[in-house]
Amino acid sequence: MNKRIHMALLIFLVIISFYVLRSFVIASDFKRIKISSSEVMIPASYGEILGSNGEPIVENSLDYDVYIDVGYAKVLSQIDGWKYPDRVIEAVKYFGLNPNSQEVSRIISSQKGGIEVGPVKAQMIKNLPKGISRFLNIQRSFVETKVSPSLRVIANAINQEYSKYTSPKRNGAIFYNSFGIYNLVSGIKKYIKPVNGDTIITTINPSIQDFANQMIEEDVKENDARGGEVIVTDPQNNDVLAIASTWQYDAPIMNLFQPASTMKPLIFCEALQEGVVSTNTKFNGPYYIPDPRIPLIIKDAEPHSWPISLKDALIYSSDVAEMKIATRLIEKIGPQAYYNWFLKFGFGNKTGIDLPDETNGILTPPSEWYGIGGQEMAIGQSIAVTGIQMITALNAVVNGGYWIRPHVVNEIVSPNGDVVYRYHPFVRKIFESHITSIVKNFMIGVVEKGTGIPAQIKGVLVGGKTGTAEKPKNGKVSTKGPWFSLFYGFFPANDPRYSIYVMVDQPSKGLYYGEDVSAPLIHSIGKYILDLSKGSEKTRYDFLPYKMPNLEGLPLNQALSIMKAISIPTNHISFSGNGIVISQSPPPNTPLSKVKKVRIKLGIG
């Protein structure tokens, strides 16, 4: 009996050993298959560009193309044991399609082929339900950029200038588990978030930009002109609020023209500062050109009686007075010093605005002047400028004498919220503030009763200057045209917060003077800006980091807070009395670089 049991056990062990050995042999004949993960790249998008009010100028969105593989879903339903087509219908509904539509229903019923979903947002891919991911094919992805037509030119320019910031930083990816040789996606194994480009916060107001663009297009069409441009700035800091043109490039920083009489306020400031004229100076006409090679006599286009005062010379745009002022300047300070003033105005060189392809302009040195070339520059001839050069220079007349580099970007913010760039103003003082106050008052007269009457805005004090320039044709200029029609305006004139420069190139329907073609745009754009700001307080830059603020009327604690904000040390400030600030030393608009001590007197206002 024991022998039989032992024999049975032996046979059993032999059989077991045989099958164990056989299993190793079989296993050795098969190759181990590595199941790799499947990856879908998520490209990072370019950074967005925002207006000064937070409205998008350029908006990017990341999309995918998705394909539902119906045939493979049928195979998976048999392997995994779920009822076909339940999960296919779930997928169709998830992506917003109708499973009962004729085409989708036909494909589901056929159990073959697939359903093209089309563009899908990145968040939908990230949040895919577990049951449907295995039979989806995510083939490609792209970034869609949206930009308003009126903002396209400036948006492209900003993108070009700041591409190192707006460019995507790092692509992301979604890693899935693979399924067999088909390498179709299963559940999400790992998600790497893309790092997009930085967000650019600009000075551009999209609403003002859009309206300015509309107005210049209408004006050019109405006057059958070749083209036109408009620039809107805050003259206190040279923020560019709008920069529009009818050309498909950034014309205000590239196109050249003769500025004509819009040059005159700058020459008036120069002449007053150099002491060659005073507010009591009077002029008689005409102006006889002191060069026998140029047998011309300069007369004024606007009729008026002689003599004419300095103020009326600007109000009625007297070329005679301007030529005589320029002659006095050249005789007193010399041609080179006179020329250097134009360099101070920023002519002949780029302003340095943060946009690509800016043009230098043309400024002829004294050695190349012909006849009265220097005097002609005073009336905006024998010189070529860009719109951004002119508005930057003229802003110095209305902001207390400061030439400030124009700019369109305030700051740049990384995807994690860090400020990676912040604008710092470049400022130089070119006029004394008491001089600019005189000329600014003259420019108010231009709009009140002179050549700029069409620029008036009801209820708001406006100042400005007209210009009408002869446009060279085949290298020559003619009193019969063609013309550049120009106007510079600012408001509210007692505390300028907006300035506008308009240039219309070659109006050809009869009207061509700046007051007829360009000045009306100051009215329409200015009124729109003021209406836009009603009910929402505009951010004000009353206290700028380069000049002494006006503290009169403020309580002491507010005055001290302001001085702290512009880095005036507390031990450099003294005060006396009680109440509000009734006087200060140094006076408002003094360059901070010259401020050593501040004395404040308080009293009852």
pLDDT at 79 (0 to 100): 86
Rg (CA), the chain: 37
Chain centre distance of CA 361: 22
- The helix-helix angle for 433-449 and 264-274 (nearest 10°) equals 140
Across 10-24, 227-241, 281-295, which has the greatest mean pLDDT?
Answer: 227-241
Q: What is the DSSP letter of 108?
A: H
548 or 327: which leads in pLDDT: 327
Give the helix ranges, DSSP H, for 457-605.
Answer: 514-517, 519-533, 556-565
SS3 402: strand
Give the dihedral sign, CA 511/512/513/516.
Answer: positive
Give the DSSP H or E segment for 384: strand 383-384
Token pair, residue 448, equals: 């009140």
Give the helix ranges, DSSP H, for 162-205.
Answer: 163-166
CB 462 within 8 A of CB 526: yes
Residue showing tokens 């050993």: 17
CB 263 within 8 A of CB 271: no
> pLDDT at residue 414 above 70?
yes
With bands split at pLDDT 50, 70 and 90, how would you rate the model's confidence at 176?
Answer: low
> pLDDT at residue 31 above 50?
no
Q: Fill in the amino acid letter for 367.
A: S
Strand partners, 231: 243, 501
Closest alpha carbon to 454 in 503, 484, 428, 487: 487
Exposure string over 485-524, b if 16+ CB within 10 A, otherwise e: bbbbbbbbbeebbbbbbbbbbbbeeeebbbbbbbbbbbbb
Give the tens place of pLDDT for each residue, 221-235. 999 999 999 999 999
Give the dihedral sign, CA 447/495/266/510.
Answer: negative
CB 172 within 8 A of CB 193: yes
477 or 248: which leads in pLDDT: 248
Percent of the chain at pLDDT > 90 equals 58
- Round to whole Å and give the CA distance between 160 and 168: 14
10 or 329: which leads in pLDDT: 329
Angle at the Cα of 208 from the Cα atoms of 206 and 211, rounded to 5 degrees:
105
- The helix-helix angle for 102-110 and 86-94 (nearest 10°) equals 150
Closest alpha carbon to 297 in 320, 263, 271: 320
With bands split at pLDDT 50, 70 and 90, how would you rate the model's confidence at 484?
Answer: very high
93 or 45: which leads in pLDDT: 93
pLDDT at 60 (0 to 100): 78
Q: What own/partner pairs with CB < 8 Å and gap ≥ 24 does 580-587 have?
A: 580/553, 580/554, 580/555, 580/556, 580/604, 580/605, 581/551, 581/552, 581/553, 581/554, 581/555, 581/556, 582/552, 583/552, 584/548, 584/550, 584/551, 584/552, 586/548, 587/433, 587/548
Give the helix ranges, DSSP H, for 40-135.
Answer: 70-80, 86-94, 102-110, 122-126
pLDDT at 471 (0 to 100): 87
pLDDT at 25 (0 to 100): 45
pLDDT at 315 (0 to 100): 95
Q: Write the DSSP string, 302-313.
A: S---SSEEHHHH
> pLDDT at residue 252 above 60?
yes
pLDDT at 24 (0 to 100): 47
Give the tens place of pLDDT for each residue, 543-594. 676 788 888 877 777 788 788 878 888 888 998 887 778 899 998 888 887 8
pLDDT at 146 (0 to 100): 78
Q: Name the average pLDDT for the chain.
A: 86
- Round to whole Å and give the CA distance between 310 and 438: 10
473 or 435: which leads in pLDDT: 435
With bands split at pLDDT 50, 70 and 90, how would you rate the model's confidence at 14?
Answer: low
CB 85 within 8 A of CB 68: no
Give the tens place of pLDDT for each residue, 315-325. 999 999 999 99
Contacts of 558 (CB under 8 A, 6+ apart): none
CB 442 within 8 A of CB 265: yes
Contacts of 12 (CB under 8 A, 6+ apart): none
Give the helix ranges, DSSP H, for 198-306.
Answer: 206-222, 264-274
Q: Write the DSSP string, 492-531.
A: STTS--EEEEEEEE---SS--SHHHHTHHHHHHHHHHHHH
Across 295-299, 354-358, 413-417, which has the greatest mean pLDDT?
Answer: 354-358
> pTM of the full predicted structure?
0.78
What's the whole-number mean pLDDT along residues 198-225? Answer: 94
Closest alpha carbon to 154 in 253, 278, 296, 44: 253
Token pair, residue 170, equals: 């790092």
What's the whole-number mean pLDDT along residues 323-352? Answer: 96
Give the tens place of pLDDT for each residue, 417-450. 899 999 998 999 999 999 999 999 999 999 999 9
Contacts of 282 (CB under 8 A, 6+ apart): 307, 308, 309, 310
Lowest mean pLDDT of 56-65, 68-77, 523-532, name the range: 56-65
